[in-house]
Amino acid sequence: MKLPQETQMLSYTEMDSPIGPLVLVASPQGLCKVEFGSYETNRVQREQWASRWYGQYEFKESAEQLASIAQQLMKYFGGEREDFEGEIDLHGTDFQKRVWQALRTIPYGETASYKHIAEAIGSPKAVRAVGGANNQNPIPVIIPCHRIIGANGDLVGYGGGLPTKVHLLDLEQMRQRTRLT
């Protein structure tokens, strides 16, 4: 006999940012998703994602629950913050989680390649798989997948679009230059 599944409450808020609207989603365990675009724009993908990782779920608007991370993001965009605090509820395969944890080690204002991340997680031949995991990062900006560039130094795709990636990299590198002078 299958027991009834408890409904997982997922809080969300939509915030304006210099790179456009962002939707922040948190479970009771922590931040679990950051989306580029409005709440409505990503509804279908968000519902598929929530169903996959949480089963039975309900979204509830709660700017209050997500106020801390929204404030941290605004300070980041304003050049006043380099890292983020707070609990994260990360869902993905074990391989994806290893990639995402490795992304978190790339210092603010610096970049790395897919190859570098593949080597860092002990899978040097998994460069393409690292690219796939990078593309599936559920918490962009916080987990800095924008810091990944091609092995030849070229910018490579980004879920928020290349202009967003350029904006984030420029923001970080400008702050680094300012701090060093």
Catalytic annotation on 32?
no
Nearest Cα to 69, choosing from 167, 147, 140, 161?
Answer: 140
Determine contact, residues 110/149, Cβ cutoff 8 Å: no
Q: Which of 90, 103, 118, 145 is catalytic?
A: 145
Cα dihedral sign for 43, 65, 31, 58? negative
Determine contact, residues 38/162, Cβ cutoff 8 Å: no
Q: Which residues are catalytic?
A: 145
